[in-house]
Amino acid sequence: MEKSANSVPDVERHRGNEHREVFESCSHNTSFAETCAACVLESRARQPVWEVLPELMRVGKFEREGDGPECAIRLDGSEYELRMLRSNDQGSVDEVQEMMEEAFGREEIDPIEVLKAGIDGKLLDGSRDVARYRFYAARDKSGKIQSIYAGGLLRMIEPALADEAVFMGAYGITRPESRRLGLARELYISSMMQAAADAHSQGRVFSMIVGECTASSERAWNSVGRRRVYVETASNQYYELPYLQPALDFNRETGLPTEGAGAAPEHIMVHFLNGGPDKARISAAIQRMYRWCNTWPQGVFKSEVAYDAHVHYVAKLHEDFNSFMQTNGSLLLLSAKEREQLRAAGTEIIEYTEADHDN
């Protein structure tokens, strides 16, 4: 199960103050609420994720009946439909909301109105958000959703990376009776196809995937190309980057985390689709996650002083993360198996054990 950084209880789901650049349709006049087959097709020649997707599909258990993200998949007589969630499909939205509440706890999940707004790329007040939440669901023959995967494509905000976009993974949930079948993998593939089409429609390169992940789910994400990030701290010694998920609730009077809320250590995993490990892109991706998921807008707070304190709190977490990364040596992306191999060869690998709270 992939971790999420996306819960803002009791308020509109604001993700920073950059609520722009979400258009209604692509160049083919297909609404962004739908999947554009033409954008998917055109993205194949321009988006680097298509260099890894064929292999992911080849080694998957299922046979996909179609070339796009929305299709039927079959395995040993079982059949599932992979479809992107639409906000006006109330039954499916209700079912997804129930799955998330059951998996994460109702107190950790935004109200259903926020879910629907996010799918449409909007905030609750109707203003545009910087991205759309893309939910893909696998439905069995009886019509029951068995697995979901969600995330959003975010443009990089560093000027030097302005023509690039990063996909932030958010939720991955599979019902107990359908685990280990490979459904989440198929939804992940569909989500990557969708992200490629979205990046193409925006005129950007989908260059990187990032997400918080639990220790127990690491090997599953390794299998689709994602790895933990380590930095050289001494000769033949690598330390996993210490990443903190910001607090999920803030005092509107002070701008600081509410009592009992605080930053949580998490494992961060990345997949570079365009080039090798790059500190600038990792820093920009984490900054983007923090601004989208954890930075509330000024209007939520009671004063400008409170808002400034809130922005400083989130910015300081990014500053500390970036400082540790930049002041140490070269980066190394490692899967669980690769770490075992390096340790056997005598390399010291130091894990960020504070993030192992799901064990």
Burial class (CB in 10 A: 0-12, 13-18, 19+), 339: buried
CATH (residue range 37-355): 3.40.630.30
| Strand boundaries in 46-144, DSSP class E | 63-65, 71-75, 78-84, 134-139
Burial class (CB in 10 A: 0-12, 13-18, 19+), 320: middle
pLDDT tens digit string along 48-107?
Answer: 999 999 999 999 999 999 899 999 999 999 999 999 999 999 999 999 999 999 998 887
**What does the longest C-alpha to C-alpha distance in the chain come to?**
61
Element (H, E) at 356: none
**Least confident window among 40-49, 115-124, 314-323:** 115-124
pTM over 0.85: yes
Q: What is the pLDDT of residue 4?
A: 39
CA dist., res. 132 & res. 121, Å (int) = 4
Beta bridge pairs of residue 344? none
**Least confident window among 106-110, 174-178, 195-199, 334-338:** 106-110
Q: What is the pLDDT of residue 239?
A: 98
Band the pLDDT of 128: cuts 50, 70, 90. Answer: confident
pLDDT tens digit string along 99-126?
Answer: 999 998 887 788 899 899 999 988 777 7
| Strand boundaries in the chain, DSSP class E | 63-65, 71-75, 78-84, 134-139, 145-155, 164-174, 205-213, 227-234, 237-240, 243-245, 264-272, 331-334, 348-350
